[in-house]
Amino acid sequence: MTRQVNRISPFNITSLALGLAFLYLPIVILVIYSFNASRLVTVWGGWSLRWYTEFFNDRAMLDAAWMSLRVAAVSATVATLLGTLAAIGLARGERFKGRSLFSGMLYAPLVMPEVISGLSLLLLFVALNAERGFWTVTIAHTTLTMCFVTVVVQSRLASIDRSLEEAAMDLGCDPVKAFLKVTLPLIVPAIVAGWMLAFTLSLDDVVIASFTTGPGSATLPIRIYSEVRLGVKPQINAICTMVIALIAVVIVVASSASKLSSSQGKSAAPL
């Protein structure tokens, strides 16, 4: 008689429910109260879109949101490009000199406190006499997120059988064409996941951005943090809800693109 291993027990259901509630109940409450008509955050006054309207009438918040989106998009794109190249070098260059030093320096931001990273970048920009603003924050976020992209892409490269590229080269492809035709479609899901992770980390960062930003170039998290110190306003709930919705859209699009690329990579035959 075959015994069922993966059965759903009341304990499993309870554990899953408690875990999901711990993770998502605060977010659900925040979303619900973003539609609260009352000015008092903890007092329900009925459903209203009042605070969303106020956000779109708040020029300072709109500028901060646009600043965050631009920084996140540019830094995530650059970090994905550099991180993918670094991952290829680490995964395919097992014997080059200085590999251990390169990987150690590359992964240092993963374990280094953000305060130290932000302060070191601030001192660098001051030494270079660089005007702090959009580009300094973008460079800082690229430095922060590139290592995360490298980890994601490198783990994917390590799981790919290199004999696929060798077979493509045996059939007449040069190494570059074999990589573009065989390996690249297989790592596209990891590249998309790395970009999404970098975008989210940049959109969420407060510490490093606070060191590297300048007057008139505050990001949305910095603006929200400065507003919350004076008291939580219902408008903050509306802003956070829209950020959550944006991240959800990015996740759905990235997941769909990853599945499409993965299916195309599996069905495509090496040339």
* 184 and 216 assigned to the same domain: yes
CA atoms of 197 and 150, how far apart (whole Å): 11
What is the pLDDT confidence band of residue 97, given thresholds at 50, 70 and 90? Answer: confident
pTM comes to 0.79
Q: Phi and psi (nearest 5°) for 201?
A: -65, -40
In a domain, 99, yes or no: yes
For the stretch 47-69, pLDDT in tens is 888 888 888 888 888 888 899 99
* 140 and 198 assigned to the same domain: yes
* 159 and 259 assigned to the same domain: yes
Structure confidence at residue 271 (pLDDT): 45
* 206 and 247 assigned to the same domain: yes
Question: 111: domain CATH number?
Answer: 1.10.3720.10
In a domain, 55, yes or no: no
* 192 and 114 assigned to the same domain: yes
For the ranges 1-5, 118-122, 202-206, 223-227, the lowest mean pLDDT is seen at 1-5
Q: How many domains does the chain have?
A: 2
SS3 state of residue 47: strand
* 24 and 133 assigned to the same domain: no
Q: Tell me: pLDDT of 166 over 80.
A: no
Q: What is the mean pLDDT of residues 154-165?
A: 79
* 22 and 64 assigned to the same domain: no
35 or 234, which is more confident:
35
Q: Tell me: pLDDT of 260 over 70.
A: no
In a domain, 246, yes or no: yes
Structure confidence at residue 82 (pLDDT): 93
Torsion angle of the four alpha carbons 94, 99, 102, 106, in this order, in degrees rounded to the nearest 10: 40
In a domain, 87, yes or no: yes
Q: What percent of the chain has pLDDT over 70?
A: 89
Query: How many other β-carbons are positioned within 10 Å of the β-carbon of residue 87?
Result: 25
* 215 and 81 assigned to the same domain: yes
* 190 and 211 assigned to the same domain: yes
In a domain, 1, yes or no: no
Q: Tell me: pLDDT of 149 over 70.
A: yes
Residue whose tokens read 């660098």:
124
Mean pLDDT, the chain, rounded, equals 81
Q: What percent of the chain has pLDDT over 90?
A: 11
Domain with 29 in it: 11-48
What is the pLDDT confidence band of residue 138, given thresholds at 50, 70 and 90? Answer: very high
Q: Tell me: pLDDT of 71 over 90.
A: yes
In a domain, 91, yes or no: yes
SS3 state of residue 108: helix
Q: What is the mean pLDDT of residues 137-148?
A: 91
CA atoms of 6 and 251, how far apart (whole Å): 29
For the stretch 170-223, pLDDT in tens is 677 777 777 777 778 888 888 888 888 898 889 888 889 989 988 878 888 888
